[in-house]
Structure formats: C-alpha cells, structure tokens
Chains A and B, each alone.
Chain A
Amino acid sequence: MKVPMSWLRRHLETEADAGAIAEALTRLGLEVEAIANPAERLAPFTIARVLSAERHPQADKLQLLAVDTGAGEAVQVVCGAPNARAGLVGVFAAPGTHVPGIDLTLKVTAIRGVESRGMMCSARELELGDDHSGIIELPEDAPVGAPYARWAGLDDPVFEVAVTPNRADCMGVFGIARDLAAAGLGRLVPPEVPALAAAFPCPVPIAIADDDGCPAFFARALRGVRNGPSPPWLADLLVKAGLRPVSALVDVTNYMSLGFGRPLHVYDIARLKGGLTARRARPGETLHALNGRTYALDASMCVIADDAAVHDIGGIMGGMDSGVSEETTDVLVEAAWFNPARIGATGRALGIASDARARFERGVDPAFVAPGLDLAVALMQALCGGEVSEAVHVGAPPALDRVIRFAPQTTARLSGLDVPAAEQRAILERLGFAVADGPGGDWQVAVPSWRRDAEGPADLVEEVVRLHGLDRVAATPLPRAPGVARPVATPAQLTERRVRRALAARGLDEAVTWSFIAEAEAERFGGAAHRLVNPLSAELAVMRPSLLPGLLAAAGRNMARGERSVRLFELGRRYLAEGERVTAGLLLAGEGRPRHWKTGKARLVDAFDAKAAALAALAAAGAPVERLATRQPGPAWYHPGRSAALLLGRTVLAEFGELHPALAGDLGAVAAAEIFLDAVPASRGRRGAYQPSPLMPVRRDFAFLVPETLPAEELLRAVAGADRALIADVELFDRFTGAGVPDGQVSLAVGVTLQPRARTLAEADLAALSAAVEAAAAKLGAVLRG
C-alpha cells in the first residue's frame, strides 16, 4: 500500500521525519519496502522563464527559446511545444539531467543545425501526469532558478508498506497512523464525523436477501449534486497513493477506502430501476464491471441488484451501467459489511483483485460502517453540493465483542521478554484494547472493533512484544544434552547420501530437474498418475513417473550446446499412483570414453555403462549386488534387446539399459538407469570373522559352448554353485562367436578361483572339481570345449 507522508500527517501529528517513520513502521511489522520521494527524483529540474521565442530557421514547428534559468546568462533551447512563448514560466532541465518520462539523459545537441542546451518539460516528461500537449506552465510569480519539485510541494515521501493479511486495520492510512501513535511516534487525530442534517427520506428502498453474504447494508442519498473534478488536495493525495482521480464522487469513495479502509459504492439513482437488494446472484446473470470486463455470476456470489439488473459485485467491484458521471445529479452511497470468506471465494472465482476486495476480505471495522458512510457523504456534499437524505440502516454488521482472558506473565513465557505488567497494560490500551482486572490476577482484555485478528493470548503477546520492541528479545541457548551430539540420520537418509557420493565419485554430475513434466513425456515413460489442475504450462503439467524424462531433456540441452559426453544423475521422487518413491535416476549420453592416444577411437555409451553405474549405486545403497538377478528386457522406454531389470528375489531394485531409439532421438547413444532406493533392503551390515586362508589359491580356466540364448549370468551362477566351499570367485574372461563356434552357440571362457582352506589341493581334488563344474554347466546345455 502506498502511503504518502502528507496523507499520514492528516491523521498523525508528528515531528518524526520520513526515515524515523519508516523505521518505526518496519519495527511494528508494517514493513516499508521502499520510500519514493518525487522531489528527489526531480531534484535537478528548476523553474525557468522563457525570455524570447523565435522561429527555428530550418523547421516550422520548432522554436528557439532564450531561457532565463536564474543562473546568469540566458540559455538557448530548441523547443517543439506549441505553447512555448516569451514570458512563459516553466520547468527546465539542463544537460546531464535524466528525464524520467522519456528515460533520456539530456546532452547538448544540435537540432536541425541549431544548438540546444537543455529542455523545457511537459508534465508527462516528469511523470507527473499524462499531459503532453505542451510544456508545463507555472504562475508568473514562480521563483526562477528554484528547484521545481520542492516549490510545487512534491517533497512528499511515499512509503510502500507491505500490510500482512491479518492487519485489516492497516488497510487505511488512518489505521497506520493509529499504530504509529501507539508506538509513540505522534498524536493520533481522529476524524470528526459530522452530524448530518437530513433533508428528505432516502428515495431508494434497500433490502437484504442474503444476510450471510451481506449482514449490513447502510445507505444515504444525495440529491442535486454537481459532480466534477476533485479539488487539488484530494486529487494530489490519490495520485500520490497510486490512483487516478476520476471525479469528486468517485474520488471520495477511494479516499475513504485508502484513508480509512472503508470501501463504499456510489450509484447514479437515475440509472436504477426500483430499490437495491443484497442477494445471491442468479445463474446466468452477468455484470459489465467498472474495469470494462463482463463477469458471469453464480449463486455463491453476493450482489447488489435493482429490480432489473445486477449493479455491483458486493464488496468487489461496481457496474458500469449505474456508475456516476458528470451528468449525475442524484446518488445513493452504499456502506455495507460483506462476509470476508464469501468475498475471498468470489474474488478468487472471478479473478478480481480490487482495493475493495482486499479490505472486505480481511474484514472491515464493523463499528465504522455508519460513521464511514456519514464521513463520506459529508465530504461529497462539501465538494459537490446537494442535499443529504436520511440514513437507511438495514441489518447490522457482526459486532466484535471479544474479551480475551490474559495473564501478563504469558508474555515472558512465549517471548522470553520480561515486560512489566504496567507497561503491557499501557501498550494494549494505546492500541485500543480495554484492559480490566479479572479473576486470579488475570486480565480481561476487550478487543477493539478493528482488531478481529486478535483472537487469544498469543495475539496479545505479539501486540505487547511488537510495541515493546521485538529487537529486545535476547538469544537464549537451547538446552543441550550432555556429551557428543547423538546421530540422527535415518537409514534412508544415509543411503541417499552414499548413493549420491558414489555416483558423483564415478564421474556423474548431480542435477535437480522439475518434478512436473509434459503429459506426452510422461506417457513415454509409463504414464502420469497425477495431473495438475492448474499447471503453469503444458510442459509442467503432470507429476513425473520417472526421473529419466527430465534427465533426457537436460542431456539434449547440453548436447545441443556442444557437449560430447553427458553423465547426469538425480536423486528425487517418482510420483506413482501408490505413492512417492525415492529414486536415483542416471543418464549417460554421447561418448562413454573419449578418443585418446592411448585408448584409440571414442566409444559411445552402452547398456553396460548404465549397468555398471546402477550396480555401483546399488552397492553404495547396501544391496547384495552379488545376489542380484538380471531379467531381460526392461520397461518399454528402453531398447528391448539391451535393457533389463535387476532383481533381488522378486523385488525389482533397478532398471537399466540403452534408451529406446524412438526416445533417444537425435542424441543417438543414450544409456540410463533408475535405482529404486526404497526397495533396497536394509543392509545387515555385519561382517563375518576375519579368517584368511594360509593356503595359496588355485586358478583353473574352462571354456564352454553354450546356446546363444543362455544368459551368461546363469552359467556363472551354476559354476559358482558347483562347489560353494572351494570356489571363491568366478569370472567371465572371454566371450567369442565365429570360427570354430557352431551357429546359435557362443563360447564363454570362465576363470575359477579355488581357495583351499584345510589342506593343499591334490590332483584328485582338482579333477573332482573340474568334473563338478562340467556337470553343473552341462545342466544348462553347456559343453566343455576340447
């Protein structure tokens, strides 16, 4: 909210300067986000007199002005304004001045061959209005050479105050002044509500048919008004507060809204048919609102309507048809109290953020409905003349007769600040709370009508503390358990940390990508289970079922920037129908190994790069990787012949493979994996006793011919199982097809490490072992090569 200092001073007698007021406001919780002072922005602009004006020799529409800037010799200025003439007193900008309205810093220039040393300015060029029909004309006696802004009374700091949603009372300048006065920054000057002399009964019948939406509808009529422009004091205040003056009647309603947080509406009686009723809108009804847009209304919304049509979305925005104009002579002024919840719902449904909504939604002062109406009507009458009708009060605003039982020691208990009871009482009373002694030394604190946000003792503590000074709260150490801090990380958190560092140590870069992706992207990776109702864009519309689409898109962007190799991983959640699952996703694209003098040509990534990374991640997560089984193929988004799932028993711990070419697209080689961290069983973590064998290990090699379709993993497992006590390790060291290997078969060479424990192996032991290995392999159709 923009609060001009001059407006504030109408309600606060104070010696404090702008800096002190801004500091106090922020200390009170009314954060000042900025202070703008037009006088500072316009400081270099001075008052100057045009001494002479002659036709420019090269241009019909330009004149050469001799300008007295008050600084000695006359200055030559080329000017295109039609009103520029000898004797005119205006506003001058010297070279070097930044002119805000055209965002230009002036230089000495030659215009059509004639030097120009400055500029006479229009109102628009100084951002003081829209007028650009000519240069500013000041009174004859304006002091030449003086700073223009100060002379014009523009030295008026405007505070940009961020009012939090609870402070309905500070949605008007008066409320802010009240808080400042309570904080000792000056004396509050309350408005004088006049006793109006009613000349006639209110000619428009008023009724409430929706007493939930509009519990109170007060009104007065004015007849015989002349609606024209507001006087300068009012127009100035509104401009400084960021509003455009419209006409005196409208400006008064805005003055009441911004000044007292009391929105009003004014209807042109000539445009009404019959009485006004606050009622629920009927399906199909619309309103052509004052902002020029037409809104479709429904029965959840409270409107003000006459016998023919809706004229106001109650408490939010009025209608164009019954608005006042310069021809208006008779008006009805409405002051109502609308249900804040209903206002919020209607405002959200219609997408209207008006000043009125902002105030009614927070809850306007129920005790200021009638006084606000009378204050406004009196001001309208003062500005526009006419006669005032009797007031009509239909319904009543819900009174706030709230009394809070409060023990003053609560303040110390919650804030740690020891504020003497007498000071607490004084603070509350300065804020308008009425404090009475209650049972057991507690207080009975009556809440003022404008503070509906104060609901309980904690709220009173906040009031006391913010007035006493929140900055006086002293840091108090949290109690600390003796000894070293205990470990607090959960097994799942430790797993995530280990996996993250394992993958980074393998040369992968950690990414964080959006949790939401495009529907079509999700479709290719299993389909989305969760869709946003209100996504920011179609690209961010559904919750990702996989981490790979985000990583794939990222890889694409990086490759498009000229990267030859991308290795990314992310730790995050997949959002599935059954819940959110913590997952490590990794994606490799481009070169798995660059070309190099030592290793030769570059090698593109393949499924085994992804498998290696997945196994490393699983090992870091504590999975028993030696017991995992490979099930081919993986899900549909992978290459059907080059992908698989890794299972522990029947649980899928990970999937990996080369991405399906239809998804990899231009990227070509893309390998990826997802590791389902929450599926990894808790590691037992116990190591067996250390029992090194004193005997030398023995190595034996076997070469088998096996059917091409036989997974090598099965052969290795069978060999390892031939003698579990003796066989310590099995490795596949060659795989060969071609000369000497029949079609449909493949030669697999397996190295077996035997670790004797009790005694050195004899020839007979080795022969028996070889026979066992051959027999185990034979069960899979593997034949020992001769």
Chain B
Amino acid sequence: MTETVDALRARHLADLAAAATPEAVEAVRVEALGRAGTVTALLRSLGGLDAEERRRVAPRVQALREELAAAIEAKTSALAAAALAARLAAERVDMSLPVVPEPQGSIHPIARVMDELAEIFADLGFAVAEGPEIEDDWHNFTALNIPPEHPARAMHDTFYLEGEPSGRVLRTHTSPVQIRTMTGGRPPIRIIAPGRVYRSDSDATHTPMFHQVEGLVIDRDIHLGHLKWTLETFLKAFFGVQEVVLRLRPSFFPFTEPSVEVDVGCSWEGGRLGIGGSASWLEILGAGMVHPKVLANCGLDPAEWQGFAFGCGIDRLAMLKYGMTDLRAFFDADLRWLRHHGFRALDVPTLSGGMAP
C-alpha cells in the first residue's frame, strides 16, 4: 500500500507538472481526485483494512489527497496568471499615440481687462454701471456741459444716426453713464462704467470703435486728493506693482473743473515698459472734479454734492499691460492673435490670486 501511495504521488505530480492547459490540469484532478480517481479509490479501500493497518496507512493517503489538491490549485492559479499576462501582453497599445485634440478656447483681452477693473474697483466699493451706446444728444453732450456750438464738440468726431428721434449719436465716451447714474439715483455714488464708444477716427492708434471705462465718485467731501489716491490704488493693483508715481497736469474737459490729465511714471528699459518710477511719463487718462453745471444738470446741488470723474481707454490699458502694439488687431478676430493674446477660460482675475494671468 505504501508503495502504491508513493507511486501515485510521483505519477500525478509528474502529470500535473506536464499539464500546460486548464483542461490538462482538470484531467489530472479527475484521474486522481475524481469520483473514480486513483486517490479516491485508495481512500475508499481504507475501510477494508484492519484497524492497525488503517491507522498506519490512512494519514499517508489523506496527506497525498491534500497535497495533490493543493498542487492542482496552485497549478490552476499559475496557468490563470500566465494566461492573463499573455492577454495583457497582447493588448499592448503604443501609449505615445497622440490623443484626440480638444480645442482650447480663449477670452478676449478686453473682457479680461474689464473683469480686472470690476474686481479691483469692487474692492474699493465701486459698482459697474452700464448705459446705451446709441445715446441722445443731451446725455452725450449737453448734460455734460458741451452745448451745441461748443468747440469741444469738435474734439469728439461724433457719429450721428439717421431718423427719429433726431440728434441721436453713438456715444463718444462713457461719460453719459455718469449722467444716467446721477439722474437715476442719489449720492453717495461710486461706479465704474466700462463699454464700447465710437469716434469717426481711424489710423494705427485710433479705431472708430474702442473701449473706455468711466469712474465716478460723488459724495459731500470728495476732492482731487481722493482722485489721486483712487487712481494710484487702481494702477498699483492693475499693473501688480508696489508703487506708482502719478503726475497730474492741468487740462480741460467741459464736464470737469478743475480738469487734470494724469501721467503715470514708467521706464522703458530695454524697450520694455515698466510701470513705476518717474524716468518717463505715460499719458494714461483724463479726470477732474465733476463740473458744477453737470451736477446741476443732474439735479444735484453743487453746494451739497461734489466728486470726481475719470475716463480711460480700456484697449490702451490692455496694450500697456499685455504688450499688444496695434489697436486694430483687437477687432480683427484673427485666431492667431486671439490665441496668442487671449486668456484661458478659467484664468479668472481675483483679488486673492492677483491680476497677473
């Protein structure tokens, strides 16, 4: 019997070692451990042995059965692992293949700068106001202390509209939004008003349509010092610099008195614009204290209310900050330009993240 056990182990383990497929392993299992298997028969035959003989042989037969079962299990796993490895090997793909391209969109620099303006001025308590681009003569000129025959109208190169009501113009500046804000509500007022404006002018630095932002603060004791601080604070945040130097020069706008032209100190080291210092000056915007007549035109008593207004070209701000040189390209929708100068959709200007893209 002992000899039989050893012989069976040798035979079945050899068969198992030779088995190369799950089917061959199963055949070994059936032959050894199946219902009519050799080891099964041996176990069954133990019943016919006397007690002492059985005590001697049974453990060895049991051990054989367990050994073979474990070996079959191990072989099955090994074959499965090998099969999986073979399948995965066959499934290999060149991972250097390019992916399906997804188009990258972009935000126009003007929209970007408008968002930056809104963000910075919101922190200073300014809301964003809007108004129509097709304006009447009163809002665009008369209320702003530019009467019909005033030579300042000649500064504006106005586009006029046909038909009724007569006297309609494309707004030549965002200043009519000042008027609409002051006639539409009571001070204190803090607004900026960005938007499209129009002048019949066209060359390398002028386009018939461009963008301006207007600022207006009306309260009881607002003066030129507040204007200067507001502009300094804005420009520092906008250009992301620690210090700016402003130069205020007397100037003339019909709707402000006193009127100032504001230059910002800059440098042109290596041909690159740097904001800060006072090596050179860059004319950046016009401003002043709102003219008493303008306040009165809006129903505000100039003895009670006063404040400042400023107006600035948004396209120019964008050019200064982001280095474009040709204004006309802003409106050409050339994809090469948009992709180069545009901003990613999720680059949202925030105070916590700063105004640099």
Contacts and interface: CB of A to CB of B under 8 A. Distances in A.
Interface of A: 26-29, 31, 164-167, 340-342, 344-345, 348, 361-362, 412-417, 456-459, 461-462, 465-466, 470-471, 473-478, 480-481, 485-490, 493, 497, 500-516, 530-536, 540, 543, 550-551, 554, 557-558, 561, 563, 565-568, 571-573, 575, 579-580, 593-594, 596-599
Contact of B152 (A165, A340, A543): A165
Interface in B163-183: 163, 168, 170
B25 interface: no
A27 to B, nearest CB: 7
A509 B101 contact: no
14 contacts: A341-B149, A470-B250, A475-B225, A476-B223, A476-B228, A480-B125, A504-B344, A507-B102, A509-B338, A512-B333, A516-B209, A536-B208, A557-B332, A593-B100
B105 A506 contact: yes
B213 interface: no
A532 B170 contact: yes
B284 interface: no
B71 to A, nearest CB: 43
Contact of A458 (B97, B98, B134, B257): B257
Interface in B153-204: 153-155, 159-163, 168, 170, 190, 196, 198, 200, 202
Nearest to B145: A455
A575 B132 CA distance: 10
Given A165-B152, A415-B224, A487 B209 contact: no
B224 A514 contact: no
Contacts of B152: 165
B259 interface: yes
A571 B161 CA distance: 23
A567 B103 contact: yes
Contact of A558 (B221, B249, B333): B333
B244 to A, nearest CB: 10
B289 A580 contact: no
Interface stretch (B12-20, B30-38, B58-66, B106-114): B106-114
A456 B292 contact: yes
B190 to A, nearest CB: 8
B250 A465 contact: yes
Interface in B95-139: 97-108, 110-111, 115, 118, 122-128, 132-134
Nearest to B190: A478
Contacts of A477: 226, 229, 233
B151 interface: yes
Interface of B: 97-108, 110-111, 115, 118, 122-128, 132-134, 148-155, 159-163, 168, 170, 190, 196, 198, 200, 202, 208-209, 217, 221-226, 228-230, 232-233, 247-252, 257-261, 289, 291-292, 306, 330-336, 338-339, 342, 344-346, 348
Q: Majority SS of interface residues in chain B?
A: mixed
B105 A416 contact: no
B105 A510 contact: yes
A598 B102 CA distance: 13
Contact of B335 (A417, A501, A558): A558
Nearest to B127: A488
Contacts of A596: 98, 100-101
A470 B248 contact: yes
Given A341-B149, A462-B258, A167 B122 contact: no
Contacts of A500: 107, 111
Given A489-B118, A509-B106, A512-B330, A462 B151 contact: no
Nearest to B228: A475
Given A509-B106, A510-B338, A531 B161 contact: yes
B226 A476 contact: yes
A341 B148 CA distance: 8
Given A514-B331, A597-B97, A31 B249 contact: yes
A463 to B, nearest CB: 9
A403 to B, nearest CB: 17
A408 to B, nearest CB: 15
Nearest to B106: A509
B125 A414 contact: no
A631 B134 CA distance: 32
B162 A533 contact: yes
B252 A557 contact: no
Contacts of B198: 515
Most chain B C-beta atoms within 10 Å of own C-beta, residue among A532, A558, A561, A568: A532
Given A459-B257, A501-B107, 13 more contacts: A345-B149, A361-B151, A465-B224, A476-B226, A477-B226, A490-B128, A506-B103, A507-B103, A507-B104, A530-B162, A532-B160, A533-B161, A536-B200
A342 B151 CA distance: 11
Nearest to B161: A530
B251 A29 contact: yes
A417 B224 contact: yes
B331 A540 contact: no
A563 B335 contact: yes
Contacts of A512: 108, 110-111, 330-331, 333
Nearest to B157: A534
B228 A473 contact: yes
B213 to A, nearest CB: 14
Contact of B162 (A341, A532, A571, A597): A532
B335 A509 contact: yes
B128 to A, nearest CB: 6
Given A458-B258, A461-B258, A501 B348 contact: yes
B228 A551 contact: no
Contacts of A536: 200, 202, 208
Contacts of A557: 332-334
Given A500-B111, A509-B342, A557-B333, A414 B258 contact: yes
A340 B154 CA distance: 13
Contacts of A416: 223-226
B154 A466 contact: no
B22 to A, nearest CB: 35
Contacts of B115: 497
Given A165-B155, A497-B115, A566 B335 contact: yes
B144 to A, nearest CB: 14
B273 to A, nearest CB: 20
Contacts of A593: 100
A478 B226 contact: yes
A165 B151 contact: yes
B223 A478 contact: no
Contact of A510 (B111, B122, B228, B348): B111
A487 B55 CA distance: 91
Given A29-B251, A487-B122, A534-B200, A462 B257 contact: yes
B200 A505 contact: no
A501 B101 contact: no
A596 to B, nearest CB: 5
Contact of B209 (A26, A412, A514, A561): A514
A536 B202 CA distance: 8
A563 B150 CA distance: 50
B41 to A, nearest CB: 50
Contacts of A513: 331, 333
Nearest to A496: B111
Contacts of A414: 223-224, 258, 289, 306
B35 to A, nearest CB: 41
Nearest to A532: B159
Given A485-B123, A500-B107, A509-B105, A473 B128 contact: no
Contacts of A167: 252
B250 A29 contact: yes
Nearest to A353: B154
A531 B126 contact: no
A395 B151 CA distance: 25
B162 to A, nearest CB: 4
Given A470-B248, A507-B104, A543-B134, A568 B333 contact: yes
A485 B336 CA distance: 38
A508 B160 CA distance: 34
Contacts of A567: 103, 105
